Amino acid sequence: MMSNDALQFKIATEGWEFEAIHRLNYKTFVEEIPQHERNAAQRLVDKFHAENTYAICLHDRALVGMVAGRSARPFSLDQKLPDLERHLPPGRRVIEVRLLSVEKAYRNGFVFSRLTGLMAAHFRAQGYDLAVISGTVRQTRLYEHLGFVPFGPLVGSGEALFQPMYLTLEDFSRVEKSLSPSSPATERILASYLPGPVDVHVEVRKAFERGPVSHRSDAFMADFQATKRRLCALTGARRVEILVGSGSLANDAVCAQLRLLSQPGLILSNGEFGERLIDHATRQGLEFETHAVGWGEPFDYDAVRRGLASRPRLGWVWAVHCETSTGVLNDVAALQAVCAGRGIRLCLDCISAIGTVPVDLRGVYLASCVSGKALASFPGLSMVFYNHELAPAPAALPRYLDLGYYAAQAGVPFTHSSNLVYALQTALQRIDWPEKYRQIAEAAVWLRGRLRELGFRVVAPDAHASPAVVSIELPPEIRSKAVGWQLRKEGYLLSYNSEYLRKRNWIQVCLMGEWSRDHLESLPVVLAELCAQRRVRRGHAALQPA
The pLDDT value recorded for residue 544 is 45
Confidence of residue 540 (pLDDT cuts 50, 70, 90): very low
Q: Using an 8 Å Cβ cutoff, are 505 and 473 in contact?
A: yes
The stretch 483-506 carries a mean pLDDT of: 90
Q: Which DSSP helix (H) or strand (E) runs through 472?
A: strand 469-473
**pLDDT beyond 70 at 198:** yes
DSSP-derived 3-state class of residue 316: strand
Helices (H), 413-506: 418-430, 433-453, 480-490, 499-504
Q: Examine the pLDDT at 378 and tell me if it is beyond 50.
A: yes
Note the pLDDT of residue 192.
Answer: 87
Amino acid at 84: L
pLDDT tens digit sequence for 18-30: 999 999 999 998 9
Letter for the amino acid at 338?
Answer: V
CB-count exposure of residue 307 (10 Å: 0-12, 13-18, 19+):
middle
Span 4-188: which CATH code? Answer: 3.40.630.30
Give the mean model confidence (pLDDT) for residues 60-88.
91
Quote the Cα angle for 78-84-89, to 5°: 135
Kindly give the residue spans of alpha helices, DSSP state H, lying in 43-86: 76-80
405, pLDDT greater than 50: yes
Q: How large is the average pLDDT for residues 72-83?
A: 89
Per-residue pLDDT tens for 92-117?
A: 999 999 898 888 878 766 788 788 88
Dihedral sign for Cα 182, 187, 189, 193, please: positive
For the segment 302-326, the average pLDDT, to the nearest whole number, is: 95
Q: How many CB atoms lie within 10 A of CB 407?
A: 18
Asked if pLDDT for residue 122 goes beyond 90, the answer is no
66-80, 322-336, 397-411, range with the lowest pLDDT: 66-80
3-state SS of 429-447?
HHCCHHHHHHHHHHHHHHH
Q: In terms of pLDDT, which residue wins out, 169 or 126?
A: 126
Q: What is the pLDDT of residues 437-457, one digit of tens each?
A: 999 999 999 999 999 999 999
- For residue 338, what is the enclosing H or E element? helix 332-339
Per-residue pLDDT, 185: 35
Find the DSSP H helices in 262-331. 272-283, 301-309
Three-class HEC string of 215-239: CCCHHHHHHHHHHHHHHHHHHCCCE
Does residue 2 surpass a pLDDT of 80? no
CATH number corresponding to 436-543:
3.90.1150.10
Assess contact for 396 and 369: CB atoms under 8 A: no
pLDDT of residue 134: 85
Sheet containing strand 469-473, strands side by side = 457-458, 469-473, 506-510
Residue 109: predicted pLDDT: 65
pLDDT at residue number 189: 64
What average pLDDT does this structure show over 155-169?
79
pLDDT band at 546 (very low <50, low <70, confident <90, very high): very low
At residue 518, does pLDDT exceed 90? no
Q: Look at residue 49 in the predicted model and tell me its pLDDT.
A: 95
Domain with CATH 3.90.1150.10 in the chain: 436-543
Query: Which whole-number Å values give the CA distances from 177 to 6, 67, 119, 173, 491, in the listed order?
Result: 18, 18, 15, 6, 8
pLDDT given at position 146: 67
Tell me the fold of 202-430: Aspartate Aminotransferase; domain 2 (3.40.640)
Which range, of 180-189, 208-217, 312-321, 457-466, averages the lowest pLDDT? 180-189
pLDDT at residue 186 above 50?
no
Give the pLDDT mean for 271-281.
98
CB neighbours of 220 closer than 8 A, spacing ≥ 6? 213, 214, 416, 418, 421
**Looking at residues 473-480, what average pLDDT do you find?**
92
* Per-residue model confidence (pLDDT) at position 490: 78
Average pLDDT of the chain to the nearest whole number = 89
Cα gap 380→427, rounded to integer Å: 14
Strands 506-510, 469-473: pairing kind: antiparallel
By the 10 Å C-beta count (0-12 exposed, 13-18 middle, 19+ buried), 343 is classed as: exposed
Q: Which part of the chain is CATH 3.40.640.10?
A: 202-430
Q: What is the mean pLDDT of residues 481-501?
A: 88
Residues forming beta bridges with residue 243, ordered by sequence position: 382
Q: 221-259: per-residue pLDDT in tens?
A: 999 999 999 999 999 999 999 999 999 999 999 999 999
Where does the pLDDT of residue 184 fall: very low under 50, low under 70, confident under 90, or very high at 90 and above?
very low
Segment among 195-204, 286-295, 388-397 with least mean pLDDT: 195-204
Say whether pLDDT at 182 is over 70: no
Q: What is the predicted pLDDT for the residue at 259?
A: 96
H helices within 48-191, ranges in order?
76-80, 110-124, 140-146, 172-179
Q: What are the two backbone dihedrals, phi and then psi, of residue 190, each rounded to the nearest 5 degrees?
A: -80, -45
pLDDT given at position 202: 81
- Helices marked H in 1-155: 15-26, 76-80, 110-124, 140-146
Closest CA to 371 of 351, 347, 401, 400: 351
- Euclidean distance between CA atoms 440 and 356, whole angstroms: 7
Neighbours of 184 (CB within 10 A): 13
Residue range(s) in the chain whose domain bears CATH number 3.40.630.30: 4-188
Bigger pLDDT: 341 vs 86? 86
368 - beta bridge partners? 349, 384
Residue 154 pLDDT: 87
pLDDT at 472: 97
